[in-house]
Structure 1
């Protein structure tokens, strides 16, 4: 009898424990919804009660569209977790990033480096560390530096056109008496942008265009994106993060080390160059084989810049061409502008492209509808608390800006979800009779603002202008019937190119 009693007692304790745990989560959820300092911020009860809906959306890969939908329901100031607020208002740029950008520090959940790893320009949370790194890198991204780098850009864009021409020659088919070829354009944009940054950053490309395939380093990089979401999600629960880090198998750790070592080797070779060249690294080097910041910081910075300076540009190029082939009239207007401006392919230069109004309008519209960073990752409100968009927030609150939502908001842009490059033409912006006259362009900040705005925006714009101009001078593009992407797709999987 006593044995049975002990079992019942143990069972009862388990029941009490489970009941207590459930009670805690219920009470915590009720507190978050009704009594938390952010309870006055609009948002769905489920997201306000727990971090779990946010994490599910993040890991499901739908967080940008989910939050856009929530903004449409609850307004431009939105609570997306018990302790987090996001904004789809233009004045948030100044409040968070510009006027007080040295006070709204990066949220460690998203930005902190892994234990034992050095800081990079991207991960540096401390303002002094970031300023030191940015000051060393900035000269490599100026307009003057870009002018010296133009031959490198021309070399790889020409190689892109050459490779696509070869593809057309090998695979061309007769369509209504015209030579044409169908292919997936998305990887080619990644090939050219990664090769350009490889040369500018390390003095050697990744040979993606040369071999018409991804370099193994880049393939591994793409495969690690999903894992990065899991790491970020785990950081909301330190114990889970601890377990996750402990569960990484030795083979994966070795793969990570090898991945990192490839960049280290590239930097080592570049630092040993005796020939001066106008690349980005040349502005970082502050003496023979020495850099303006530590070798470890250099390695980490150029590793992340390789992605930040390549994949983002390729994303916008893919999205922009997708919209162009879905709007043949816009594509025809842009092709006509380019072909009338240049009497030969060889005469296409960055200086002249910078002045083409419709080309720049198309790129702006591509950036608006296909922002490479649709959700600006959070900053933390200063410890004393601060007001953002007229709303006071307690210290430590993560705050972010939803660029994707704002760019498609009809209160900011006429016909907001449609592709209208004309909205960026000076005549339309200055004409009170234009439907685009009242567009609120101050909310459009594709390269961010303030002390941490994108240094590489001149390079990115130059690459986009040059790639689009040379491709459209050389080819006529069409969407493949039956294989078009909808307008939420960022890359045209299949297009037809005619030469």
Structure 2
């Protein structure tokens, strides 16, 4: 009887094992045949690129999760050229012409819309300026926000930028005068201080209250959580390529994390509410959202929920990116003493008579070398090293002379373009001289043939960076005040000096310490 029962059990298990084996064989065979199709018969099969990336999305996702994706793209572009197939259905470009072909709106043609995989709004949240895929919807939101970012508005907002640039100088003076300083010189990580400044500026301009990072000499909890969530966002984006995996990932989010996300968002909602309840008028960004005697949207330029989520996004877009560029510039300046000395002399000579009080946004416009330093910093340390995908419109489209089928995701590799030796003389070197007038006018200049039009740190088209005037103002003013007040040197330990090329990209650029030596100006 026992043997019969064992035999029955074995007889029952055998068909089950066979079914599992057959199912696995079918899945493996399907994946293999699908990979063969992708490599040899897919409509994109003629596009250059490694076969492993063409066969499957897995190499792309692996590079994305490792944070090496822009560096991997750069290597592949060197091997395969400016047009590169990076997945079975996706193409990326390291050609300056791609900016206009993909991002500009042309009369009589259908625009390339944002790829929903990257730009879809968060579940349960309304559309924001960044997530809005529909062009008309985006245009309505941008029109409402634009008055807060005009040159005229910036002139009225200058006082806020000065306030926090001066507070940054005050905090660094305290560091230089502290007991830890040796002979008046201290070595510190400059990057957090730059982040403190840009986040405080946008907090005041956006919500009428700063994040008090400079005041407390530490990150506000909201900002600290933001930085911690960046890498997690990369995992979420990766999961969207596999809907079943995204579904499972969303189901696995613990209630505590969901509550943390809700609380994170609620802090912005509360800041917006407090700012909208101000009785006095302020020349800040939020003021453009308030329309007195307008019954629509309770007197607001946009529905309140759209304002909440848009300003949450703008905190990052308007702060983290500017701090990234500033950090990169300071890193290159301290490692290039000749450049540092030249731009420092320009600032100090310009305001020699009137002193620091004469430093203003208008007066800084005439400092050509300072502008060149910032521009070169934007080239090598672009805060957005990879312009995320748009979709080729239905019916197909042409990018850089290549005809592509409708629905194809296409992106732009700013990091690769900005370091392409075919476009730039000594492309990996920090050389602000390439942006001076002589470089473009003098045939004998080694920089005469540089493709200056290839640099588009704020992108182009109807979705270009709304806050680029503010970003330029912050970079000019903060750098000028730092160069006026302090002497900067590289860190004494060469092993602690950051190589920008070593930073990974998790949608945003990775943050590692930028150690500099600092002493008060003699």
| Alpha-carbon offset, residue 244 of structure 1 | 1.0
> CA contact under 8 A between 1:319 and 1:489: conserved in structure 2?
no
The reply on whether 1:40 has 2:35 as its aligned counterpart is: no
Q: CA RMSD in A?
A: 1.3
1:136-174, CA deviations, whole angstroms, 9 ceiling, x for partnerless residues? 111111111111100110000000000110111114534
1:61 pairs, out of 67, 71, 92, with 67
Aligned counterpart, 1:328: 337
> CA contact under 8 A between 2:185 and 2:518: conserved in structure 1?
yes
> CA contact under 8 A between 2:288 and 2:301: conserved in structure 1?
no
The reply on whether 1:197 has 2:209 as its aligned counterpart is: no
> CA contact under 8 A between 1:353 and 1:466: conserved in structure 2?
yes
1:124 pairs, out of 123, 129, 132, with 132
The reply on whether 1:488 has 2:494 as its aligned counterpart is: no
Question: Partners of 2:98 and 2:114 in 1: how far apart?
Answer: 15
The reply on whether 1:208 has 2:229 as its aligned counterpart is: no
SS of 1:186's partner is helix
Aligned counterpart, 1:498: 519
Please give the residue correspondences for 1:291-310 in structure 2 after superposition, counting only pairs within 5 Å: 291-310=300-319
Taking a change above 3 Å as real, the CA distance of residues 345 and 102 of structure 1, as seen in their structure-2 partners, is farther
1:339-369, CA deviations, whole angstroms, 9 ceiling, x for partnerless residues? 0001211111110112210000000000000
Question: Partners of 1:328 and 1:486 in 2: how far apart?
Answer: 16
Question: Partners of 2:154 and 2:227 in 1: how far apart?
Answer: 28
Aligned counterpart, 2:266: 261
> CA contact under 8 A between 2:198 and 2:320: conserved in structure 1?
yes
Question: Partners of 1:493 and 1:437 in 2: how far apart?
Answer: 32
SS of 2:267's partner is helix
1:356 pairs, out of 356, 367, 370, with 367
SS of 2:184's partner is strand
SS of 1:485's partner is coil
Question: Partners of 1:313 and 1:277 in 2: how far apart?
Answer: 23
| Alpha-carbon offset, residue 319 of structure 1 | 0.4
> CA contact under 8 A between 2:381 and 2:500: conserved in structure 1?
no
1:138 pairs, out of 133, 146, 161, with 146
Please give the residue correspondences for 1:246-257 in structure 2 after superposition, counting only pairs within 5 Å: 246-257=251-262
SS of 2:299's partner is coil
Question: Partners of 1:188 and 1:171 in 2: how far apart?
Answer: 19
The reply on whether 1:443 has 2:454 as its aligned counterpart is: yes
Aligned counterpart, 2:433: 422
> CA contact under 8 A between 2:200 and 2:211: conserved in structure 1?
yes
SS of 1:437's partner is coil
SS of 1:476's partner is strand
The reply on whether 1:466 has 2:477 as its aligned counterpart is: yes
Aligned counterpart, 2:11: 5
Question: Partners of 1:493 and 1:243 in 2: how far apart?
Answer: 39
Question: Partners of 2:167 and 2:222 in 1: how far apart?
Answer: 21
1:170 pairs, out of 173, 178, 185, with 178
SS of 2:136's partner is helix
Question: Partners of 1:215 and 1:86 in 2: how far apart?
Answer: 37
Aligned counterpart, 1:75: 81
The reply on whether 1:290 has 2:299 as its aligned counterpart is: yes
The reply on whether 1:273 has 2:278 as its aligned counterpart is: yes
> CA contact under 8 A between 2:291 and 2:299: conserved in structure 1?
yes
The reply on whether 1:92 has 2:98 as its aligned counterpart is: yes
> CA contact under 8 A between 1:319 and 1:492: conserved in structure 2?
no
The reply on whether 1:396 has 2:417 as its aligned counterpart is: no
1:268-299, CA deviations, whole angstroms, 9 ceiling, x for partnerless residues? 00000111110000012122763111111000
Instruction: Give the aligned length.
Output: 496
Taking a change above 3 Å as real, the CA distance of residues 237 and 371 of structure 1, as seen in their structure-2 partners, is same
| Alpha-carbon offset, residue 320 of structure 1 | 0.5
| Alpha-carbon offset, residue 487 of structure 1 | 4.1
| Alpha-carbon offset, residue 429 of structure 1 | 1.3
> CA contact under 8 A between 1:476 and 1:497: conserved in structure 2?
yes
SS of 1:182's partner is strand
SS of 1:124's partner is coil
Greater shift, 482-491 or 127-136, is seen at 482-491
TM-score of the two chains, using structure 2 as the length reference:
0.93
SS of 2:497's partner is coil
Question: Partners of 1:116 and 1:444 in 2: how far apart?
Answer: 37
TM-score of the two chains, using structure 1 as the length reference:
0.97
Unaligned runs of 5+ in 1: none
Question: Partners of 2:272 and 2:134 in 1: how far apart?
Answer: 25
| Alpha-carbon offset, residue 99 of structure 1 | 3.8
